[in-house]
């Protein structure tokens, strides 16, 4: 089966209607408020003052790096497990995942080394559940089949990479004036390269149009894309800067990636964290 | 090669007229809050003392220092990208695939939007004093064959990768958090572009985030100082309008 046909089948509706009880579970998780999401992070982060997640109020570079490390742990374990579970078609998908996996592992080690060198204890690695309580089976652990598992692994990768781009961007201001800013920017652009390739592997454009999560993405991933429809940049409505296709809503939203707050990033990551 | 030198000094009367016109764009003022002070906090008069425009009277525009310098620097790079893709989409190489056409058209749209954004944002930041805004640059691509897929995609790759290292290397120079965030919003799109172009050039490979741009040991993309980026861009020979960056590292 071609991946495109397969992805067409992998819609929220198809996936979830077969498992309506699970839809309820996922809906519950997806609607977690910020407080609940923080409470669901059991590995030390949640015991920090909640302000450490607020992009606009903290300016705390250590909290920004701990959040980054948490997201990198998540990506690292995800890609490593996908590769280990042998759900990837050989050729381009395997090559792409291996390259990304190598980077995410390097990011984990880089951040741990940086935090340690700064005299800060890095957060411990959480226990992840990438099935979200049985909702997904990206590693083909329950025999959903390699094709379906691969499609889910692609959808999750897209959500993780697009989230990573937004989360690093949201933390840049908290790192401003610290020696970590440039390094964080250097990770940020790598996540964006990853996101673009994963999206293209799924048959999408490499950039985000409006707040569209893209064909085949589960509805529960919409939180990753909310806010991407913004066209106000530095007080300027960029759709009004000229006429023609460069100033359409589509182009004007694609041309700028939007940040998310630390709290929103944690809420998304928490869906996959059990302990 | 002969370079066109832009004369940025203009009669005073015209300057003040222009300033009045731009001040009317009152809604844009948010962009510039704090910037003027950042330019030259100790100077009672901006003109003639702060860098930006033509500090040494040689008729060659200087990008300026601090946040203004970085914004003008980004504007120069976006002008180049936008101009290049405008030419690309106006005469696509023959045999272009649908996917390539879509990608290059999107890149044209995004880069033109970025260019116009910087023009408007910088103009607002300097309260309409267009002497401080990088002029419209002129370009000449010499022998670059716009009919060659290989040359176009490789040039696009170079421009997008350059955009990434340029923004990554300039972020720390920004003092205004609004500008840092804006740079962040744009650099990740440049990285998405670079990845897509690299994927078009070598579709079944790891080149989208290849070992030639992402350091294997730490997984970091590049970051270069403005002087390094401008030297590389100047070496391409495409920018015909001279400008200097005496106040950027």
> Could you tell me the two tokens for A104?
């995410």
Chain A hits for B103, CB-CB cut-off 8 Å, are: 205-206
Mean pLDDT lowest among A8-17, A103-112, B156-165: A8-17
Chain A hits for B171, CB-CB cut-off 8 Å, are: 172, 181-182, 185
Q: Is B102 on the interface with A (CB under 8 A)?
A: yes
Q: Is B112 on the interface with A (CB under 8 A)?
A: yes
The Cβ-side half-sphere exposure at A138, using a 13 Å CA radius, reads 23
Residue in this structure with the two tokens 């008069």, named with its chain if needed: B45
* Contact of B114 with B81, CB cutoff 8 Å: yes
CA nearest B156: which of B118, B117, B113, B105? Answer: B105
Q: Which of residues 16-35 of B touch A (CB under 8 A)?
A: 27-31
- How much is the pLDDT for B52? 61
Q: What is the mean pLDDT of residues B135-163?
A: 98
* CB pair distance less than 8 Å for B182 and A233: yes
Residues A213-231 pLDDT 10s: 999 999 989 999 999 999 9
CA nearest B118: which of B164, B57, B69? Answer: B69
* CB pair distance less than 8 Å for B30 and A189: no
Residues A64-110 pLDDT 10s: 999 999 999 999 999 999 999 999 999 999 999 999 999 999 999 99
Q: Is B195 on the interface with A (CB under 8 A)?
A: yes
Q: Which residues contact A37 (CB under 8 A, 6 or more apart)?
A: A263, A266, A267, A270
ipTM of the complex: 0.82
Mean pLDDT lowest among A44-48, A69-73, B118-122: A44-48
Looking at CA atoms only, how far is residue B190 from chain A in angstroms? 8
Q: Is B108 on the interface with A (CB under 8 A)?
A: yes
3-state helix, strand, coil in chain A (%, to 5): 60, 0, 40
Output the average pLDDT for chain B. Answer: 84
Looking at CA atoms only, how far is residue A47 from chain B in angstroms? 28
Q: Is A236 on the interface with B (CB under 8 A)?
A: yes
**Pair type for strands A236-237 and B61-62:** unpaired
CA nearest B19: which of B46, B1, B43? Answer: B46
- How much is the pLDDT for B47? 38
A256 pLDDT higher than 80 = yes
Looking at CA atoms only, how far is residue A217 from chain B in angstroms? 19
Q: Which residues contact B153 (CB under 8 A, 6 or more apart)?
A: B100, B197, B200, B201
> From residue A62, how far is each of A246, B69, B169 by CA, in Å?
39, 29, 21
* CB pair distance less than 8 Å for B180 and A107: no
Q: Is B120 on the interface with A (CB under 8 A)?
A: yes
Residue in this structure with the two tokens 């080149």, named with its chain if needed: B207
**Pair type for strands B61-62 and B243-244:** parallel
* Contact of A266 with A37, CB cutoff 8 Å: yes
Q: Is A235 on the interface with B (CB under 8 A)?
A: yes
Q: Which residue of A has its CA nearest to B167?
A: A185
Q: Which residues contact A49 (CB under 8 A, 6 or more apart)?
A: none
* Rounded Cα–Cα distance for residues A231 and B88 (Å): 26
Chain A hits for B189, CB-CB cut-off 8 Å, are: 192, 207, 254-257
pLDDT band at A59 (very low <50, low <70, confident <90, very high): confident
Q: What is the mean pLDDT of residues A26-32?
A: 29
pTM reported for the whole predicted model? 0.82
Residues B216-244 pLDDT 10s: 999 999 999 999 999 999 999 999 999 99
Chain A hits for B22, CB-CB cut-off 8 Å, are: none
Torsion B183-B184-B186-B192 (CA) sign: positive
CA nearest A245: which of B45, B86, B55, B159? Answer: B86
Q: Is A57 on the interface with B (CB under 8 A)?
A: no
* CB pair distance less than 8 Å for B120 and A235: no
Chain B hits for A241, CB-CB cut-off 8 Å, are: 113, 116-117, 120
* Rounded Cα–Cα distance for residues B83 and B87 (Å): 6
Look up residue A206 and give its DSSP letter. Answer: S
- How much is the pLDDT for A43? 26
């Amino acid at each position: 089966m071609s991946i495109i046909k397969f992805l067409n089948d992998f819609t929220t509706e198809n996936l979830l209607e077969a498992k309506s009880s699970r839809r309820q579970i996922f809906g519950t998780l997806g609607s977690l408020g910020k407080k609940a999401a923080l409470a669901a992070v059991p590995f030390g982060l949640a015991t920090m003052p909640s302000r450490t997640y607020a992009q606009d109020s903290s300016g705390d570079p250590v909290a920004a790096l701990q959040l980054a490390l948490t997201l990198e742990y998540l990506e690292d374990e995800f890609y490593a497990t996908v590769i280990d579970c042998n759900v990837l078609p050989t050729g381009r998908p395997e090559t792409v995942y291996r390259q990304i996996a190598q980077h995410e592992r390097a990011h984990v080690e880089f951040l741990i080394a940086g935090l340690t060198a700064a005299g800060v204890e890095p957060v411990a690695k959480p226990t992840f559940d990438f099935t979200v309580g049985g909702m997904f089976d990206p590693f083909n652990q329950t025999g959903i089949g390699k094709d379906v598992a691969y499609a889910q692994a692609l959808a999750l990768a897209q959500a993780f990479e697009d989230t990573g781009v937004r989360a690093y961007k949201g933390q840049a201001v908290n790192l401003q004036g610290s020696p970590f800013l440039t390094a964080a920017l250097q990770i940020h652009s790598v996540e964006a390269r990853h996101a673009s390739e994963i999206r293209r592997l799924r048959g999408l454009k490499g950039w985000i149009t409006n707040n569209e999560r893209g064909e085949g993405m589960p509805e529960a991933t919409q939180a990753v894309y909310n806010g991407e429809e913004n066209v106000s940049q530095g007080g300027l409505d960029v759709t009004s800067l000229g006429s023609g296709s460069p100033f359409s809503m589509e182009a004007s939203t694609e041309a700028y990636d939007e940040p998310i707050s630390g709290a929103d990033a944690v809420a998304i990551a928490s869906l996959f964290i059990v302990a | 090669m002969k370079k066109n030198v832009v004369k940025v000094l203009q009669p005073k009367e015209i300057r003040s007229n222009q300033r009045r016109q731009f001040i009317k764009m009152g809604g844009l003022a948010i962009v510039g809050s704090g910037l003027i002070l950042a330019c030259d906090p100790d100077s009672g008069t901006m003109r003639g003392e702060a860098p930006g425009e033509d500090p040494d009277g040689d008729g060659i525009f200087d990008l300026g220092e601090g946040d203004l310098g970085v914004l003008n620097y980004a504007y120069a790079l976006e002008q180049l990208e936008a101009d290049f893709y405008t030419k690309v989409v106006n005469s696509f190489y023959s045999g272009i695939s649908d996917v390539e056409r879509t990608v290059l058209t999107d890149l044209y749209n995004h880069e033109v939007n970025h260019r116009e954004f910087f023009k408007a944002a910088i103009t607002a930041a300097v309260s309409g004093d267009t002497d401080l805004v990088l002029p419209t640059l002129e370009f000449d691509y010499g022998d670059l064959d716009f009919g060659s897929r290989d040359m176009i995609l490789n040039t696009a790759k170079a421009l997008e990768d350059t955009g990434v290292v340029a923004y990554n290397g300039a972020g720390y120079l920004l003092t205004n958090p609004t500008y840092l965030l804006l740079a962040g919003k744009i650099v990740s799109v440049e990285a998405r572009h670079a990845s897509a172009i690299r994927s078009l050039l070598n579709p079944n490979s790891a080149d989208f985030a290849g070992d030639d741009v992402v350091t294997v040991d730490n997984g970091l993309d590049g970051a270069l100082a403005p002087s390094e980026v401008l030297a590389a861009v100047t070496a391409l020979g495409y920018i015909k309008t001279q400008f200097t960056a005496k106040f950027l590292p």
